Every structure is written in structure tokens, then in C-alpha cells.
Amino acid sequence: MKRLLTVLIFGVPAAGMAVEAVTMEALTGGRPWKLAWLAEGGEKLMVLDPGGQVRELLGGQGRLARPLVTADGGAVVVTKLKATVGDAGTAYDPEMVSVPWTGGVPRSLGSGAAVAVWPGSGEEPGAVYAFAALETSKRAALAGEPLVRFRMEKPEDREIVWSGRAAAVDNFQVSRDGTRAAGLFPWPQAGLADLKAQTWTPAGHGSWPSLAPDDSYAMLLLDGTKRRLRCYVPEVDPGWDLDLAELPTLAGGTLNHPRWSNDAQILTFTGPWPEEGGGEARVQALRLRKDLKAVEAVHVATVTTGAVESPDLWVANASGVVTSLPQKPQVAVEGGGKAGGWPVQTDGLVLGWEHLGGKNDPVLRGMAFGGPGGVVNVSAGSAEFPAAAAGPVFDAVRASGAWSLSCMVTERRSVPPMSVRLVTVRNEDGTDAAALYRVDGKLVLRVLTGGGDGVPARVERFVLTAMFIEDDRPFALVVTCRNKRLACYVDGQLMREFTTEASGFGGWKAGRVVLGDERPYGGPWTGSMERVAIYSRELGQEEVEEAWKEASGMLTERTRPTRNLVKAKLVEWPALPGAEALKESANWLQASVWEIEQVFTGAVTDKRITRLHWAVLDGKPVPRPDVKVGQSMEFSIEPVTDHPETGAAKVHRAVTGSEAPVWFDATVPGRHKPPFPAP
């Protein structure tokens, strides 16, 4: 066995505060603790406790998976995978065993793969959660279904608690009340399952999702850089980041295998992760602040010259530890909004849409797709509001003789000469009642005025503002019109006022409201839309300023995706399944494997990545670059955790390579640079 030793490393500031390196006793407040993990390629179960030496608890059984310290700390449950390689991939005949902490003969718990040990809640006794069977696969990730639970003393008496979809063995954790579970459903789709309602909420793509062992339902997800943990409460809190890159115990390296202990403030992980073929690896533990937004202390339990994986930490008397987050939070009711939230003004509101995920979502057409924060990217497509949402606009504006349009636009790139519609209110005969354009460097409005009381309808054109638009910086636009006065506001500031030739809007007939342009002209425009609202009245300047104040606060808290420009060589790009299989969903992501050759901008340190990219949108295949295995391409990738909107998408994940870190390619479909010739 490779030599292991206990070490203590002193710290420098990390995760926004000074982080102290302490002993495990200081980290746990003097409470007893027990730590288990896998070593030697997953074939040896190692353990450590206070005052003891690292020792081997189980070996010689082939590949093992997911060690779990039992709720009383008296044993470790681990799975013997019993893998068999065949033409269809690797098949498994898993068996769970319980090994006494002090050593001894393992006790069989029957077939299946154990994924969590639950201490029990109220009158419900504790239980082991396990997948009854594992999928045969050519991939390294283990996934199985259905999920069952049983008592340690009666492993043959099993209850099915989840059968909604397959889930991954790593990582799966259950809340203290037993109603929620975090996991991969399957890789790379992380989410929070409601075990009672048999539903799940997608949270994003990433690895090693971990659930706080209280009832806050707070999740951690490791992003593609393997230096940052994304923390959030699905459907309740959009979340925050824990940047662990500067932890002194990581020494600039990456972390892996994060998992919450049974204490709501303490988790364990491995890192820095060694390069392929050797290097140093550590099993570590850290304590979070009660609000989970900063690291308080860190401890290195062991250092080894070989890779380690899947640590599990048990701390005595942890049942009373809870975070300061709300316990058993209530999911926000759609449309209820929050105090001071959007839309700030609701009087006269006839269409209001903030982001994807609501009942009035526009239908995505062409190559439009969802973006971070629920925005809709209409660079190469359009999005049309359903008739139930768009229909009331025309009658309300025609009756009131006034209207206002409010929207938020994020532009990434525009190439003149160009003319592209951003928002269009279109009559049923195909004419535009109102259309907001981006024409070269200008914002232009075309609006149909008049059309009532003997006044002929006419199309009037206004150059709203010639403005410098910063790449990737959202701007809020408000156009409001009443009694021949038309005013334009940008970011709460009045930019220009105009006088129309006719008043009233009798020419507005029933029709459609569309975001983006089905037939753009000229150079490509790249951008996204959100917070679209149409009112049947004029908005006053104070109202516009008030709305911008709320929007600017929202933007201040928003994390922009981190773009990284890389050159990479294609390793594997599986063919898509047949058309019949793709009918399951109109939108599909696809996974491919690449070797990083050069990083032009950003901080990608991974040698090999799994790249997620759109493969099917609106039921149609996305144009694929003509790249072959061994050829290289330049493309931008972003941490997949910056794109939680992809969590609900279907993923074609037939890659056979090992589980490389997952990154998202947010390039507009059809706009990749051509590949480099193969060497």
C-alpha cells in the first residue's frame, strides 16, 4: 500500500474571507468523526478516525463504489461492482456489503448499488438508499434505477422510492426529512428530486451534486473548472458561488468528489486532483459558515501519491446542526412575484414575460434557444408568444389609444450592414403594428399610427437613439406613446422625444408578438431578450426610473458566464439517434469529447473536456461543423453551471470516453469557425 500521512497546512484568504487551516478536532468542534474513501483505482476501502492511522478496511474485491459511513458510525456500506466487459459495454452485477468499522467479515446486503445512508426522521427509521440495478454502458459513469430503500437489519425488505428516470451513483444525497434527493438524472443533468411527488427540478449541468443534510434543500454542484462550487436552492434561490481556487490546501489545483457530511456545515472532497499517471492527491474537509456563503476552516486529512476518490465523512451529534437558510422552504408560486420584483408596474399590463419557465413562455422557432437566467437567445431564430398571451395586446391598445413597450436586450455582437427585428407586434395580415429594429448602430422603431375616426393608418419611422452598446451588457429599453407623444428611455434615462403625425392605433388588429427576426438582413446579430412587457397606457418617467432601479439591482447580482476561447482537437462525436428517437423532445443537447490544445482567453486547465452543444432545435438538426476526429477547431466554452437553463434539455450522451469535465459551447448554431486541417 502506498504511504499515507496526516498533514496540516496553514491558510491564506479564500472564498471571500480568511480561511484557517485547523485540525479535524477543531473543524468538528471536538466531536468524534470517521472518514472513509477509496484508493488504488477504487479497489481499496480506506478509513481514518481520531488518533488512528490510515488503514485498509476492505480490498481484493475488485472495483468498489461509493463508501458510506452508517448513521451510527459503526460500519461502512460499500458496493462491489462485479463488472464484466462485453461488446455492448460494461455490465454490472453489484452487491452491497456492510463492513464493521473495527474490521471483520463483510455482511452482504444483497444486490444493488448503495448511494446514501439516511439516519431517519421522526418515527421513520433510518435506511440505506440504493439502485436496484446498474445500466450496461460504454461510459465510465455509473447510472441505475429504480431507487429503493431498506433497513440495515432487513435488506431483503425493500421499498421503491424513485422510478422517474435513471440517476447516477455519484453523487446522491437525501435531505434530513427524507423528501428530497440531489443527484445526476443522469450525468450531466443535475437536479433535485421530490421523492414524495415523484417529480424533479433540473438545476444545471455539472458533476457531484451534493445536498445539505438539513431541510434547507440547498445544493452544491461542481462546475467545469473544478475550482468552483455553485450553491443554490432550486426554485427558491438562484444561488451563489464558492470559489475554492485560492484555498491553500489546493495549491492552485482542482478539487473533485465534493460531498456533504452528515453535518450541515461540513463537507469533504479530494484535491488537488493528480495528473493522469500519478501525482499527489489529498482527502480534505472544510467547514462552511452557517449561511453557506463562505469557508471558515479547512483540514487536510491525508496525502497520498495515488489517486483517491469518493470520500464520506461522519461526525457525531450532527443531527441538531442546521444552516441559517430557511428550513423546508416553500417553492415560489408562479406569478406571485417577490416584493419589489418585476414587473414593478402592473397597471395596464397586457403582456408580461420575464424569463423562460412560465406559463406564458414564447415558443422557440428556428435556432432560438434558452440562455442564462432564462433569457431567450434569438440570434439565429425567433420566439413567438402564444395567442392567449399576445391576443389581448391589440384590443387593449386600440381601445386605449396608448401603449408602452419595455424590454431588456443583451447584445454580444453585431456586424453592419444589418437590419434585424428585436420585438415585433404584427397584425394578422402580416403588416407590423410596431417593430423595434437594430439597424447598423441604431435602434429604430416603426409603428402603425392612426386608423380610426377617418384618419388613415400610416407607418411612421423613428431613429430612437444612436448609442454605443457594450458587448454582453444588458440594457433596458422603454418606448411609450400617447396623444402623438413618443418617448424613448434607455436604462431609466429619457433619451429622445418625438411627435407622431397621427394619434390613436386603430390599425392594430389581432395578430402575433414575436421576439427576434425570422428573416434578418445583412451581417449577423448575436443577442438575447428578457423582461418583455407591453402596456395599454403610457408609462411616466418616474415609473420608468423606478423600474430601472429594480432592474439594475438584479443585474448587479447576476453572474455573467465566463467565456473561454480555446483550440481543441476532436476525440469523439457520436452520431445522433434516428429521427424517431429524437421526437421525444424538440430540443436536444449533444456531448462530444475534445482535447484542449491551446487556451487563448480564460482559464481552462483541463486537458480533455466533454463539450455540450445544441444538436437539435425546434425539431430540426443544428448545422454541424464539418470536423472529423483528429481535426481541431476554435470555439468558446463556458462553465456549464453558468447555464442552468440547459438542465431541462434532453442530452444525447453516447460518448464512450472517460468522464471529462463538462463545458457548454454557447456558440450560435451555424456560426462556428471552420476546422483546422488534420495534421
pLDDT beyond 50 at 410? yes
Tell me, yes or no, whether 533 and 636 share the same domain: no
pLDDT beyond 90 at 147? yes
pLDDT beyond 90 at 356? no
Sign of CA dihedral 310, 315, 319, 325: negative
- For residue 249, the model assigns a pLDDT of 87
Cα torsion for 550, 556, 557, 558, to the nearest 10°?
Answer: 100
Tell me, yes or no, whether 517 and 419 share the same domain: yes
CA dist 258 and 238 (Å) reads 20
- For residue 340, the model assigns a pLDDT of 55
CA dist 17 and 289 (Å) reads 10
What is the side-by-side strand order in the sheet with 44-48? 55-59, 44-48, 33-39, 308-315
Tell me, yes or no, whether 547 and 568 share the same domain: no
Q: How many domains is the chain partitioned into structurally?
A: 3
pLDDT tens digits, residue range 75-91? 999 999 999 998 888 89
Once rounded to an integer, what is the mean pLDDT over residues 402-416?
93
In a domain, 49, yes or no: no
- For residue 483, the model assigns a pLDDT of 94
In a domain, 204, yes or no: no
In a domain, 519, yes or no: yes
Tell me, yes or no, whether 503 and 652 share the same domain: no
**Higher-scoring residue by pLDDT: 617, 559:** 617
Tell me, yes or no, whether 480 and 368 share the same domain: yes
pLDDT beyond 90 at 554? no
CA dist 4 and 226 (Å) reads 24
Tell me, yes or no, whether 595 and 545 share the same domain: no
Q: Which residues of 341-360 are buried (b: 16+ CB within 10 A; e: fewer)?
A: ebbbbeebbbbbbbbbeeee
In a domain, 216, yes or no: no
Boundary residue ending a domain (557, 592, 626): 557
pLDDT band at residue 581, thresholds of 50, 70 and 90? confident
CA dist 106 and 109 (Å) reads 9
CA dist 140 and 85 (Å) reads 12
pLDDT beyond 80 at 219? yes
C-alpha cell at 554: 438584479
- For residue 139, the model assigns a pLDDT of 75
- For residue 114, the model assigns a pLDDT of 97
In a domain, 383, yes or no: yes
The residue range of the domain holding 482 is: 349-557
- For residue 658, the model assigns a pLDDT of 66
pLDDT tens digits, residue range 426-468? 999 999 999 999 999 899 999 999 998 778 999 999 999 876 7
pLDDT beyond 60 at 10? no
In a domain, 642, yes or no: yes
pLDDT beyond 80 at 331? no
Tell me, yes or no, whether 434 and 524 share the same domain: yes
- For residue 274, the model assigns a pLDDT of 64
pLDDT tens digits, residue range 59-68? 999 999 999 9
CA dist 665 and 639 (Å) reads 9
In a domain, 152, yes or no: yes
**Higher-scoring residue by pLDDT: 637, 584:** 637
C-alpha cell at 169: 451513483
- For residue 127, the model assigns a pLDDT of 96
- For residue 7, the model assigns a pLDDT of 32
Quote the mean pLDDT of the chain: 88
Q: Please compute, for residue 327, the number of CA atoms within 13 A of its CA located in the half-sphere on the CB side.
A: 13
Tell me, yes or no, whether 552 and 637 share the same domain: no
Region of residue 374 (left: phi > 0; alpha: psi -120 to 50; beta: else)? left
Tell me, yes or no, whether 644 and 549 share the same domain: no
In a domain, 242, yes or no: no
Q: Which residues of 153-176 are buried (b: 16+ CB within 10 A; e: fewer)?
A: eebeebeebbebebbbbbbbbbbb
Q: What is the DSSP string of 288-323?
A: E-TTSSSEEEEEEEEEESS-EEEEEEEETT-TT---
pLDDT tens digits, residue range 227-284? 889 888 877 777 788 888 778 888 778 889 999 999 999 999 998 876 544 567 899 9
The enclosing H or E element of 387 equals: helix 387-400
582 Cβ partners below 8 Å, 6+ apart?
576, 588, 616, 619
Boundary residue ending a domain (163, 198, 233): 163
pLDDT beyond 70 at 15? no
pLDDT band at residue 678, thresholds of 50, 70 and 90? low
Tell me, yes or no, whether 423 and 364 share the same domain: yes
Residues paired with 303 in a beta bridge: 5, 282
- For residue 279, the model assigns a pLDDT of 64
pLDDT beyond 70 at 14? no
pLDDT tens digits, residue range 98-137? 999 999 999 999 999 999 999 998 788 999 999 999 988 8
Tell me, yes or no, whether 501 and 548 share the same domain: yes
Boundary residue ending a domain (144, 163, 182): 163
CA dist 62 and 658 (Å) reads 19
Contact 406, 476 (CB under 8 A): yes
Tell me, yes or no, whether 615 and 648 share the same domain: yes
From residue 612, give the alpha-carbon distance in Å to each of 265, 640, 642, 665.
32, 8, 13, 6
pLDDT tens digits, residue range 491-531? 999 999 999 999 999 999 999 999 999 899 998 999 999 99
- For residue 165, the model assigns a pLDDT of 82
